[in-house]
Chains A and B, each alone.
Chain A
Amino acid sequence: MTLQESIEQIMKKKQYESFDEWVCNFALNLSNIWKESSANELTNSTNFSKNLPAIVIGRGPSINTHNHLKLLAESDYKGNIICCDGKLIDALKAGVTPSKFPNFFVTTIDPIPEVEQHYDDQIVNDFGPKIKGIFTVLTNPNVVNRARKAGIKIHWLHSLFDNNEGKKSFNQISRLIVRAKNHTNGLPAIQTGGNVGTSSWFIGWKILKCSTIALIGINHGWEESDSWETILSHGHNYDVSKGIDRNSSTFEKLFKKIYNPDFNCTCILDPLFQFYSMGFKEFISRSPDWLTTINATEGGSIFGDRIQSMKFEIFLKKYTN
């Protein structure tokens, strides 16, 4: 079994440990799902143009290293902003706001309650009414309530996870329940790729129908200057080192250092980032020819087939004129 297959197997098992929680989340969201908008309503919204590019904002380390939020805030960029929830507060505080960029979307995919902290700030209240939120139906209801309280307009979608298991899968059952009232055409269902960054790229492509999607802060990897605590714990900064010998060959396989030729830099991929990075690159390579993906992260592991790498400053010049 390859490392990739091994991680997929473990993640599938772990995914089902959270299954009860996800069903509860869906049940508690249901009355609001029936009342509120489908993410598909954004597709034909008159407030944005699919002819404009989209920038996906993640929270990878390069975004701070290269001052990308400042560059964006000071630019005359006119396109769409798709901000991953984990970077929302930082983006708003840096001046990347819906007042300056009216086509401003925030995305939440992870169903865990901790995501609420990404919305829990006065600056989210200040700009919330101008932000369009995109949430999976399995989002923890406290997270959606916090966003709703800030005035963010909620748009729902399904996250595909077990639809391949047929009519009795939860994807299928929740699909039928959602369609039972108001959403007779259902909601869009997206591939999450396991993380909000990949999901946001899919939203740019499949929901907003943008033909150019740029990425910043989507490293899917660590920088060499990041601490071991950060790398070993996938950024959670707690001790997960039991059983891991840093001098072993296993360690070199699990924590790969790779060279990014497009940006002439190296990065370190923990097992989860190897999983996410492989998946994301696969999906980019499978995207239609009319879609251009530009990685302006200036670091990380996302490079290869169908990916144009470009400094963010150059992207902004090219797509502002």
Chain B
Amino acid sequence: MKTNFKKDDSDSSVTELNNDQPKKDLTQEEFEEYISKSGAKGSFMIYRSDKKDEELGIDEF
């Protein structure tokens, strides 16, 4: 079985996931193509609405 990352036991920080941008060495088209090929096509996205309660579902729709 392949190992991808060298183990770093001193790594105790939790990486923040929401403040990073794709860098310029991957073009937008390539990034889009990658996301599409890796399973985005045909899946639902996260539902967002101005009505925040509605994002959590509707009992009788």
Contacts and interface: CB of A to CB of B under 8 A. Distances in A.
Contacts of A277: 17
Interface string B1-19: 1111101100111110111
5 contacts: A164-B51, A250-B25, A250-B26, A253-B21, A269-B17
A287 B26 CA distance: 37
User: For this complex, into which size category does the number of interface residues on chain B fall?
Assistant: 35 or more
B61 A10 contact: no
Contacts of A283: 56
Interface stretch (A72-80, A155-163, A306-314): A155-163
A195 B40 CA distance: 10
A191 B46 contact: yes
Contact of A253 (B5, B7, B22, B32): B22
A14 B38 CA distance: 12
Interface in B45-60: 45-51, 54-60
B11 A266 contact: yes
Interface string A132-171: 0000000000000000000000000011110110000001
B59 A188 contact: yes
B59 to A, nearest CB: 6
Interface string A262-277: 0000101111101101
Contact of A270 (B22, B26, B38, B41): B38
Contacts of A250: 22-23, 25-26
B15 A279 contact: no
Contacts of B37: 233, 238, 240
A307 B27 CA distance: 36
Contacts of B8: 266
A259 B18 contact: no
Contacts of B22: 3, 6, 250, 253-254
A101 B19 CA distance: 43
Interface string A235-251: 11010101111001110
Contacts of A14: 35-36, 40-43
A83 B45 CA distance: 21
Contacts of B32: 10, 13
